[in-house]
Amino acid sequence: MTQQPSLAYKTKQIIKNYDFAFKKNFGQNFLVDERVLEKIISVSEISPEDVVLEIGPGIGTLTQALAKKAKKVVTVEIDKTLIPILHELLADFDNIEIINDDILKVDIAEISAQNGGRPLKVVANLPYYITTPIIMNILEKQLPVESITVMIQKEVAYRMQAQPESKDYGALSLVTQYYCEPYLAANVPQNCFMPRPNVDSAVIRLKVLERPAVEVKDRELLFHIIKTAFAQRRKTLLNCLYNCGGWDMSKEELTGLINKAGIDEKVRGEMLTLEDYAGLAKVFDGEKRS
Ligand code: SAM
């Protein structure tokens, strides 16, 4: 049996043949490890009825693997110099649509509507400079997306899935877990990319919940309390809310509200669960902020 050239070798050849220059400002670190590619495909659980939205195809390595599993792949690439390369390299597939745009400007709901209205599965090796805006844009606008399987910076992935009392737990954990059930699928070292990034990576799958994990009347208030509780990490909940919350209240009044939610005012934000924060949002509802 003849041996297949490695993904690293094939990538090098493509870069050379097309005289392609990597653009650092677009976060271009192409995946060159077959096992990691297989891992992304397996955890994204693509079935033949699925429409996949890929963000940043690069030279189309992940795109091809996805197109073999899905009904259709819509892939959005910002770098116009990659578009003719992608059209050539993906010419054998009739289920890939290539869009040359910035993902933050694309109407994701429209992509779902144009493809039968099913919620999309988002899969990507994300450009690290805009990981959080891309994911939060999908979640906060509650776009028609069923799951998000992405390679991102390891620290961000750890923070997204962290539980109370751990060092990675913070506002990002709570906001992510309000919308999703996270699953950390793999750690990925720097040598799996070309060129090597200067941070480690991880693959995380976020299964978007049908309804947010907790019910609150005012989502913005919930997120404000969460962010305020972590604004001064070493300080107690009471001091964070007093110093940074913007409520025109004395410490005694704030203590009264915190206790009304069944919480000790001296705890730190990292001790509290999402349900605790939802309880706080309930008792703070209607209280004016400056
Ligand atoms: N998917 C390829 C792979 O796994 O080898 C490339 C991944 S590379 C980390 C990120 C890709 O996202 C690059 O192709 C980059 O040009 C593209 N990109 C960066 N910013 C983008 C944006 N705002 N919208 C769409 N694509 C973007």
Q: How confident is the model over 59-70, as pLDDT tens digits? A: 999 999 999 999
In this structure, which residue's CA is closest to atom 8 in ligand 1? Answer: 28
182 lines ligand 1 (CB under 6 A): no
Phi, psi of 184 (to 5 degrees): -85, 115
Residues of the chain above pLDDT 90, percent: 96
Is the pLDDT at 286 greater than 90? The verdict is no
Give 259 Cα–ligand 1 centroid separation in angstroms.
Answer: 47
The reported pLDDT for the residue numbered 76 is: 98
If phi > 0 it is left, if psi is from -120 to 50 it is alpha, else beta; for residue 165 that is left
In this structure, which residue's CA is closest to atom 22 in ligand 1? Answer: 102
In testing the pocket of ligand 1, which one of 14, 76, 77, 137 has its CB within 8 Å of the most ligand atoms?
77
Using alpha carbons, list the distances in angstroms from residue 81 to 45, 66, 223, 250, 263: 31, 22, 40, 58, 55
Pairing of the two strands 201-208 and 145-153 = antiparallel
What residue ranges define each of the domains in the chain, with the CATH number in brackets?
7-208 (3.40.50.150), 219-289 (1.10.8.100)
In testing the pocket of ligand 1, which one of 14, 24, 30 has its CB within 8 Å of the most ligand atoms?
30
Give 81 Cα–ligand 1 centroid separation in angstroms.
Answer: 12
pTM > 0.85? yes
Q: What is the mean pLDDT of the chain?
A: 97
Give 193 Cα–ligand 1 centroid separation in angstroms.
Answer: 13
28 lines ligand 1 (CB under 6 A): yes
Q: How confident is the model over 42-60, as pLDDT tens digits? A: 999 999 999 999 999 999 9
The reported pLDDT for the residue numbered 225 is: 98
Is the pLDDT at 252 greater than 70? The verdict is yes
